[in-house]
Amino acid sequence: MVAGARILVVDDQLTHRRKLDLAVRALGHDVVAVADGTDAIQTLRASSFDLILLDILMPELDGFDVMEFLGKDPTLRDIPVIVISALDSEMDSVVKAIKLGAQDFLPKNYDPVLLKARIDSSLEKKRNRDRELEYLQQVNRLTDAAAILERGLVNPQRLQLEDMSERDDALGKLASVFSSMAQQVYEREKRLNQQIRTLRGIGLLLATGVVTGLGVTLSRIAAAEAPQPFGIVLWVNIITMLICFTSAFYRGRMPRMNKSLMGFFLLWAFFASIMGEAMVFWVAQHLQASYIALILVCEGFLVFAFASVMGIEKASWRRLLGFAVGLAGVSMVIFVTQKIGGTNPWVWALMALLAPLGYALRSILITIKLPDDVDMIAATGFSSLGAVILVLPIVFLRDEFIPLSSVFSDGSGVLVLAILLFGIISAAGVTMRVHLIRSAGAVFASQSSFVITFAGIAWGMILLGETLPKEAWFALMLLVVGLLLVGPKEEAEAVDPLATPARVPAPDHEL
C-alpha cells in the first residue's frame, strides 16, 4: 500500500465529491477537494500534488480542459490523472481522456477495492518516475562536475557532491570514487601550481630587489650632483606619473576621480614623497647609500607597530620580540654612523628615519583606504601627480627647480641619467610588485625588504665603492632576525587558487 500522498479531487457534484474525499482519506492520503475545473487549475498552481481524481462533465472548464492545461505545463504534466466519470459507457470519451494523458479511467459507481488498487498503482508509477528523474538529475550533476573540473583547477568540494556520494547504489559509488580522485588531482595540481609560483616568485623577487635597491644608490649620486632634494623629487614624480598613466590608459584602468579619492592620493603623496623621497635625497648628501638602505628596512617594523595599535594585525609575543630586536638593530645602525665622519652623522641617521616612517604611513593608508576597484599602477600615477602638486610650490619657494637642459653644460649628464633611472625604477617597482603578489603570493612580497636592503648595500659597494664596518653587518643581522620574527600576517601565506586576488600592498622602499 502506498500511503501519505497528496491527492486532488475535482468533481462538481457535492455528493460524489464527499464520497471520494472520505474514500481516499480512508486509504491514508491527504485530500484537497474542489468543485470545478477553474478551482482545480488555481489549486494546482498554488500547491503540489501526487495524483488527481478528475470528473469529466463540469460547468465552465470540464475535465478535458483541465487535462489540456496539464499537458501544456511542464511542471504539471507528469502528475498522474485518474478520470472518474459517468461517461464510462462512451468509448470515445474514454479514448479522448487517455489521449490527453489520463493514466486510468473509473466509473462513478466504482468498487472501493478497485479504487484502492488504481490509486496505489498510479502513485507507485509516479514515485518510480520521480526516482528516475532524480537519478537523471544526479547523473547530469556528475557530468557537469566533470566538465567543470576539465576546464580548470577547481576544488571538488565546491561542487557539493557529498549527497550523491552517500547514495547506496552504483551512482553513489561512482560519485564517491569521482570525488576522491578529483580531490587528489586537485591537491596535486595545487601543489604544482604553488611550486611554479614559488619559482617565478624567486626570480621576480630578485629582480624587484635588484631594481628597487638601485634607487638608494641613485639617490646618493643625484644628491652629489645637485643638492636640491625637492627639485629632484619633482622630476622623479613627473617621470613616474607619465609612465604609470601611460600604462593605465593603455589597459583601460584609469579610475574615476572624486574629492575623497584625490584627497587620499594627496595624503599618499605627502607620506611617500615629502616624508620619504625628499628625506632620502636630503640625507643622501651626508650618509652612504649602504647606511640609508639599512635604515629603510625599518619600514617593516613601523608598519607592524601601526598595524598592531590599529588592530589590523595581532601583536603576538614572537612579533613583539622581533620588534624589539629590530629596534636594537636600528640603534646599532645609528651608533655605527659615528664612524662615517663629518658633522653629527648620527643626527642625519635619526632624520633618515623619517623616510621609512613616511613609507610605513603610506602602506597603512593604502591598506585601510584604497578602494578595491582602483588599479594599483593607476593609483601610483595619481599619487605621483599629487606629489607634483605638493612639491612644486616648495621647489619655487626654496629655489630648487632644476632645468634639465642646463646640467648638460659640463658634458656628463649624470644627474639627468640618475633622475630618469629613478623615475623608471619607481614605476617599475610597482609593476613588478603587482606581478610578484599575484604570481607568488603575499609571503614573497613581504620578503622584498630583505632583497632591497642587500641590493642597496651591494649597489653602493659596486657603484660608489662603499664599505661597511663589522658593526654595521651585525646591525643588519639584527634587522633581518627582527623582520623574520615579525613576519607577514598568517592569512597572507595561504593562497587560494579560487579566490579573487587580494589588493596589492604598497611597495616596500619604493622611492
Let me know if residue 235 belongs to a domain: yes
pLDDT over threshold 70, residue 379 = yes
Are 479 and 337 in a shared domain?
A: yes
Look at residue 363 and tell me if it is in a domain: yes
- Give the whole-number percent of the chain exceeding pLDDT 70: 80
Alpha-helical segments (H) within 337-375: 345-352, 354-369
Least confident piece of the model among 27-31, 129-133, 207-211, 308-312? 308-312
Least confident of 412-421, 433-442, 498-507: 498-507
Which residues pair with residue 34 across a beta bridge?
10
- As a whole number, the mean pLDDT across the chain is 78
Same domain, 210 and 114: no
What pLDDT score does 7 carry? 92
> Per the structure, how many domains does the chain have?
3
Reported as a pLDDT band with limits 50, 70 and 90, residue 507 is very low
* Dist CA 251 CA 254 (whole Å): 8
pLDDT, greater one: 489 or 428: 428
Q: Is pLDDT of 483 > 80?
A: no
Distances (CA, A) of 164 to 129, 181, 183, 298: 19, 15, 15, 55
Q: What percent of the chain stands above pLDDT 90?
A: 9
pLDDT of residue 267: 93
Residue 508 lies in a domain: no
- Report the SS3 class of residue 201: helix
Q: Are 238 and 383 in contact (CB under 8 A)?
A: no
Domain's final residue, options 132, 155, 174: 132
In a domain, 506, yes or no: no
Better-scored residue on pLDDT, 236 or 301: 236
177 and 270, same domain (yes or no)? no
Domain co-membership, 191 together with 327: yes
On whether residue 196 sits in a domain, the answer given is: yes
Neighbour tally for 131: CB within 10 Å: 10
Confidence (pTM): 0.56
Average the pLDDT over 348-352 and give the result.
84
Question: 172 and 200: one domain?
Answer: no
User: Which has more confidence, 319 or 270?
Assistant: 270
- Pick from 190, 214, 239: which is nearest to 402 by CA? 239
- Given a cut of 90, is residue 259 above it in pLDDT? no
Helix segments in 27-72, DSSP class H = 37-46, 63-72
User: Residue 201's domain spans which residues?
Assistant: 187-492
- Map grid coordinates 665622519 to a residue: 341
Domain check: are 178 and 156 in the same one? yes
Report pLDDT digits (tens) over 185-223: 777 777 777 677 667 767 777 787 788 788 888 888 888
Please indicate, yes or no, if residue 233 is contained in any of the structural domains.
yes
Which pLDDT tens digit goes with each residue over 438-463? 555 444 455 566 677 778 888 888 88
Contact (Cβ atoms closer than 8 angstroms) between residue 30 and residue 6: yes
Domain containing 108 — which CATH number? 3.40.50.2300
Instruction: Taking residues 416-421, report their average pLDDT.
Output: 82
Least confident of 45-59, 70-84, 363-377, 422-436: 422-436
33, β-bridge pairs: 9
Same domain, 390 and 463: yes
Helix (H, G, I), strand (E, B) or coil at 52: strand
Q: Please indicate, yes or no, whether residues 146 and 290 belong to a single structural domain of this protein.
A: no
The alpha helices in 156-288, defined as continuous H runs, are 162-165, 170-225, 229-251, 259-269, 278-283
Cα angle 54, 60, 66 (rounded to 5 degrees) comes to: 35
Residue 331: pLDDT band with limits 50, 70, 90: confident
Q: Is residue 510 part of a domain?
A: no
Same domain, 172 and 90: no
Mean pLDDT, to the nearest integer, of 485-489? 60
Q: Is 170 in the same domain as 220?
A: no
Residue 500: what pLDDT? 39
- Is the pLDDT at 54 greater than 80? The verdict is yes
- Name the range with the highest mean pLDDT among 59-63, 192-196, 432-436: 59-63
Per-residue pLDDT for 266 more than 90? yes
Q: What pLDDT, in 10s, does the model give residues 120-158? A: 888 888 888 877 887 787 777 777 777 766 666 566 666
> 149, 164, 186: which is the final residue of a domain?
186
Per-residue pLDDT, averaged over 218-234, amounts to 85
Asked if residue 193 and residue 336 are part of one domain, the reply reads yes
The pLDDT of residue 397:
93
Residue 395: the pLDDT is: 92
C-alpha gyration radius of the chain: 39
pLDDT at res. 265: 92
pLDDT for residue 488: 55
Mean pLDDT for the stretch of residues 362-387: 85
Q: Which helix (H) or strand (E) holds 105?
A: strand 104-106
Is the pLDDT score of 66 beyond 50? yes
Does some domain include residue 342? yes
Q: Are residues 299 and 167 in the same domain?
A: no
For the segment 7-27, the average pLDDT, to the nearest whole number, is 90
